């Protein structure tokens, strides 16, 4: 299993709300400099500006896990992200490295849409209902270490939003059908890229005990079985918001994340991963207008980085990912000061057997990139 070791009883206290921002920044930088190369700080693109300032490397979840493992001089990998990302970093880390998450409560709604117990039950039902068919399981990077281990053990792989199409092609080369979890929308959008009609994939609802609410005939003809899961940020974007952006800015180019529902992706000009969206914003010429459908923290950072362009969030009043935002400057300051004082709080550890299978699934994904 995966665990987060609680902070030692003697750990320093988390700074209170009365501590001024500039004092926190100064204390955090002092602790960071004291740690030097003993620590590497990894920051996901959706983090708050107040903590991303301290990141040695920024990126999506898999890029960060890779870069943490590559920082072989570092004893500590401080992960500014959510729990499943820290788990992946631990799976790929060297034996001498420890992964630390400033707040172990930083979870992910999408990742929590699928748990190992319901997935195992679904797998048993699905494979029993399809005798003679080879079903290949694929899990999105946004899933727990136990699900990554599950697909590794059952001949499947992990994928990101950036290489999901390649992962689907890989799976089709090895089997008759794909069982994809936990994001229904990424799965549907990826299948559509491969020429599979958006209505063709069937959806397994884990809340319905018998065959996920599917009949045997529906399953028998399905090439793609999707788990009914979603990102609560990306499903907040709508076709109406795309239309409103075009009405307000006739020249706007609309780019959304593939975790958005299929109608939103169809209404947009482009869809792509977080790294893709960042690259496209950089590629567009000065004066361009871009309406982006992804986490507000990233969109706001992109408009600061490209003042020569008009960069909008499709829903400016959208709430940034709540669980991502659990990593605050007071918690990061506490984490860095604890490490500098010789205390190691909130260590994320994936047990050896789970890590072995999970690494196999991640290595299969690496071979696709």
Using one digit for the tens of pLDDT, what is the confidence trace for 129-150?
Answer: 999 999 999 999 999 999 999 9
The answer to whether 299 and 22 are in contact (CB under 8 A) is no
The pLDDT tens digits for 156-184 are: 999 999 999 999 999 999 999 999 999 99
The answer to whether 229 and 114 are in contact (CB under 8 A) is yes
Please say if the pLDDT value at position 257 is more than 70: yes
CA atoms of 183 and 299, how far apart (whole Å): 22
Q: What is the pLDDT of residue 7?
A: 47
Please say if the pLDDT value at position 60 is more than 90: no
Residue 72 phi, psi (nearest 5) = -65, -20
Higher pLDDT, 68 or 90: 90
The answer to whether 301 and 313 are in contact (CB under 8 A) is no
pLDDT bracket for residue 1 (50, 70, 90): low
CA atoms of 121 and 107, how far apart (whole Å): 23
Please say if the pLDDT value at position 67 is more than 90: no
Please say if the pLDDT value at position 127 is more than 50: yes
CA atoms of 360 and 156, how far apart (whole Å): 9
Please say if the pLDDT value at position 330 is more than 50: yes
CA atoms of 315 and 333, how far apart (whole Å): 31
CA atoms of 247 and 268, how far apart (whole Å): 13
Q: What is the pLDDT of residue 329?
A: 96
% of residues, the chain, pLDDT over 90: 82
Token pair listed for 73 = 């001089």
* Bridge partners, residue 225, by sequence: 179, 202
pLDDT averaged over every residue in the chain: 93
Residues 6+ apart with CB under 8 A from 355: 90, 91, 145, 149
Mean pLDDT of 211-238: 93
SS3 76: strand
- Max avg pLDDT among 18-22, 65-69, 224-228: 224-228
pLDDT bracket for residue 320 (50, 70, 90): confident
Residue with tokens 């995966």: 2
Domains parsed from the chain with CATH numbers: 2-107+323-357 (3.40.50.10800), 111-231 (3.40.50), 234-313 (3.40.50.10800)
| Strand ranges of the sheet holding 347-350, from the earlier edge strand across to the other edge | 2-4, 347-350, 98-100, 76-80, 39-44, 57-59
- How does DSSP assign 192-237, residue by residue? HHTT--TTSSEEE-TTSTTGGG--HHHHHT-SEEEES---TTGGG-
Q: What is the pLDDT of residue 369?
A: 64
- Cα-Cα-Cα-Cα dihedral of 280, 70, 154, 44, to 10°? -40
The answer to whether 158 and 148 are in contact (CB under 8 A) is yes
The answer to whether 192 and 266 are in contact (CB under 8 A) is no
Token pair listed for 237 = 């974007």
Q: What is the pLDDT of residue 5?
A: 52
Mean pLDDT of 274-301: 96
The pLDDT tens digits for 71-85 are: 888 999 999 999 999
CA atoms of 77 and 71, how far apart (whole Å): 9
DSSP class of residue 141? S
How many CA atoms lie within 13 Å of 71's alpha carbon, on the beta-carbon side?
25
The gap from C-alpha 57 to its chain's centroid, in whole angstroms, comes to: 16
Token pair listed for 204 = 């397994």
Q: What is the pLDDT of residue 321?
A: 83
% of residues, the chain, pLDDT over 70: 97
Closest by CA position to 102, among listed 16, 41, 25, 175? 41
pLDDT bracket for residue 9 (50, 70, 90): very low
């Amino acid at each position: 299993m995966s665990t987060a070791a609680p902070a030692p009883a003697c750990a320093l206290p988390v700074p209170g709300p009365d501590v001024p921002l500039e004092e926190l920044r100064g204390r955090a930088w002092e602790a960071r400099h004291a740690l030097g190369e003993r620590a590497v700080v990894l920051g996901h693109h959706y983090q708050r500006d107040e903590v991303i300032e301290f990141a040695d490397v920024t990126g999506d979840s898999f890029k960060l896990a890779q870069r943490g493992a590559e920082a072989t001089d570092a004893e500590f990998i401080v992960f500014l992200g959510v729990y499943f990302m820290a788990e992946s970093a631990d799976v790929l880390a060297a034996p001498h490295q420890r992964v630390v998450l400033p707040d172990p409560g930083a979870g992910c709604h999408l990742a929590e849409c699928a748990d190992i117990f319901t997935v195992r039950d679904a797998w048993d039902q699905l494979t029993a209902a399809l005798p003679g068919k080879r079903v290949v399981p694929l899990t999105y990077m946004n899933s727990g270490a136990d699900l990554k281990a599950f697909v590794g053990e059952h001949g499947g792989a992990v994928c990101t939003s950036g290489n999901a199409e390649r992962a689907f092609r890989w799976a089709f080369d090895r089997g008759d059908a794909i069982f994809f979890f936990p994001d229904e929308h990424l799965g549907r959008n990826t299948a559509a890229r491969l020429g599979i009609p958006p209505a063709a994939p069937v959806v397994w609802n884990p809340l319905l005990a018998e065959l996920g609410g599917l009949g045997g005939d529906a399953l028998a003809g399905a090439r793609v079985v999707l788990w009914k899961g979603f990102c609560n940020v990306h499903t907040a974007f709508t076709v109406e918001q795309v239309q409103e952006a075009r009405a307000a800015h006739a020249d706007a180019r609309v780019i959304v994340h593939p975790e958005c529902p299929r109608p939103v992706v169809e209404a947009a000009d482009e869809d792509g991963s977080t790294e893709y969206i960042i690259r496209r914003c950089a590629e567009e010429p000065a004066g361009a207008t871009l309406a982006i459908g992804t986490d507000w923290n990233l969109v706001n950072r992109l408009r600061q980085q490209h003042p020569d362009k008009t960069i909008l969030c499709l829903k400016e009043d959208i709430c940034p990912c709540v669980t991502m935002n659990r990593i605050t400057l007071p918690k990061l300051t506490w984490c860095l000061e604890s490490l500098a004082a010789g205390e190691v709080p909130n260590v994320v550890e994936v047990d050896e057997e789970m890590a072995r299978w999970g690494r196999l699934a991640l290595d299969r994904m690496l071979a696709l990139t």
